[in-house]
Structure 1
Amino acid sequence: MPTKILLTGFEPFGGQSINPSWQAVQLAAAELTDAGYVVHTLELPCVFGQSAGVLSSALNEERPDLVLCVGQAGGRGRLSLERVAINIDDARIPDNAGNSPVDSAVVDGGPAAYFSSLPIKASLLELRRIGIPAEVSQSAGTYVCNHVFYALMQELQYGVHRGAKGGFVHIPFSPEQVPDSSVASMETTTAASALAAIVRVSVATGGDIAMAAGATH
C-alpha cells in the first residue's frame, strides 16, 4: 500500500490577505502527486480549538501515514523544522475568531510537550544539500501553529493514528507580503520544494540521524 500523506496549511491571519503556508502546501502536493505519492491537503482555520478539531476530523477520515503541518512565521529567514510542541496557548494577537487565550492548556492534563516524530535532522541535511535555507527550531511559539502541532502529536500518540509520523514546519513570509524587503522572505515555490523534500525524506527514513542543529539561546 502506498504511504498516505496529509499536508496542512493555514488561512490568512493577522491582517494578511494570503498565507504562504497554504500556497506552498498546494504546490508541494502537486509535485508529490506527479511523483506518484498519495497526498491529501487541508486548509486549517487560524482559530484556537477549531483548528485542532478540523485536523482531527481529517485524520479520522483520511487515516494518513505521514502528516506535515505548515504555518507562516513572519520575520524568520529560513524554513524552520520544529522540534517541540508545548501544551500552552498564549496569544499575543487574537485569532481569526477574536479569541486570545492566555496561559491555557492545549489539552487539559496532557504532557508538557511532545517532540516531532519526523526525521528533522535528516530533512535538514537534505534541504542544505539542495540549497534551501533551513534550520531546526526549538520553539513553534504559543499561537495557533503550536496549538495545531501539539494537537497533532497528541492524536498520533493516543488516537487511532498511533504509528503515523507527524510534525510541523514554519516557512517565512512570501516576497509579495514584504514588497519593501524590510524583513526576510522566501519564494513560495522554494518553500514548496522544501516541503516535498521533507516528505520524501520522511517516507524513506526509518529513524533520524545524529547531527548538531541545536541552539545556544
Structure 2
Amino acid sequence: SEHLLFGFEPFGEHAVNASWVAVQELEKLGLGQNVDLHVSEVPVEYQAVQNLLPSLWKQYHPQLVVHVGVSGMATTVTLEKCGHNHGYSRLDNCNFYPGSECCMDGGPECIHSVIDMDAICKRVNSSGLGVTLSVSKDAGRYLCEYTYYTSLYLGKGRSAFVHVPPLGKPYSAEELAQALRAVILEMLELMEHNTEKQLCQHGQ
C-alpha cells in the first residue's frame, strides 16, 4: 500500500521550511521495507493545493497521507486532530486567498482524522525519543490547515497533519525526522490494527 508524505515550501519568515527539511531527512531514514513512501514538497498556494491533491489521491490511492508543516509558534511536535472548512483569509505566496474563504463549498465544517492522535501522542511521548509531542484541534487556518482539510475530505479521514517547530527551536532536522518516523510507524500500526478489528467484526 502506498503512503504519501508532504512537506511545504518556504513562506513568510520561514526562508527554510523545517517541514520539508525534516521530510527529506525522514526519506533518508526510511520507514522499513514494507512501506512504500512517496515524498513531495507542497507549494504554499491555495490554488496549487486544490489542483495537486486530488490528482495525487487518484494516482496513488494511498492508505495514509501525512502532511508536515512548520509553525513558528510550535515548541513541540504537534499532531493535528482535525481540519476546518472556513476562515482562510490569509494571503498565500501568490498574494491570493479563496474568495469564499473556505476549502470545499458545501463540505462539512470540521473533518476529524480517523487516527486517534491522543493515542499516538501518548505512545511516542512514552517511548523515550527525547522529542516532545502534543495534540491540537486548531491547525492555524492557513495553507497547512487548508491542505489538511482537503486531504481529509478526499481521503475520508485517512490523513494526518504534523506541525513541527522551526529548525533548532529546539530540535534539529534529524530529531524531527526521528519523531516523524516514530509517529508515522505508530499511525500505520494503529490503522492496521483498526482494519483487522473491522474485518473481525465483519466476520461475525
Same fold per superposition (TM over 0.5): yes
Q: How many residue pairs were aligned? A: 190
Q: Is the 8 A contact 2:57 2:155 kept in 1?
A: no
For residue 186 of structure 2, what is the aligned residue in structure 1? 201
TM-score by length of 2: 0.85
Q: What is the 5 A alignment of 1:39-118?
A: 39-92=37-90, 94-101=91-98, 104-118=101-115
Greater helix content:
2
Structure 1 runs (4+) deviating above 3 angstroms are 33-36, 100-103
Deviation sequence 1:160-217 (CA, Å, 0-9, x none)? xxxx721111100112xxxxxxxx432121111111111111111134xxxxxxxxxx
What RMSD over aligned residues (CA atoms) do the two structures have, in Å? 1.9
- Alignment-mate amino acid for residue 117 of structure 1: V
Identity of aligned residues (%): 28
CA–CA distance in structure 2, aligned partners of residues 25 and 59 of structure 1 = 19
Q: Is the 8 A contact 1:126 1:197 kept in 2?
A: no
Q: Is the 8 A contact 1:172 1:185 kept in 2?
A: yes
For residue 165 of structure 1, what is the aligned residue in structure 2? 158
- Alignment-mate amino acid for residue 48 of structure 2: Q
For residue 202 of structure 2, what is the aligned residue in structure 1? none
Q: Partner of 1:49: helix, strand, or coil? A: helix
Which runs of 5 or more structure 2 residues have no equivalent in the other structure?
A: 195-204
CA–CA distance in structure 2, aligned partners of residues 70 and 132 of structure 1 = 16
For residue 179 of structure 1, what is the aligned residue in structure 2? none
For residue 200 of structure 2, what is the aligned residue in structure 1? none
Q: Partner of 2:186: helix, strand, or coil? A: helix
Which runs of 5 or more structure 1 residues have no equivalent in the other structure?
A: 158-163, 176-183, 208-217
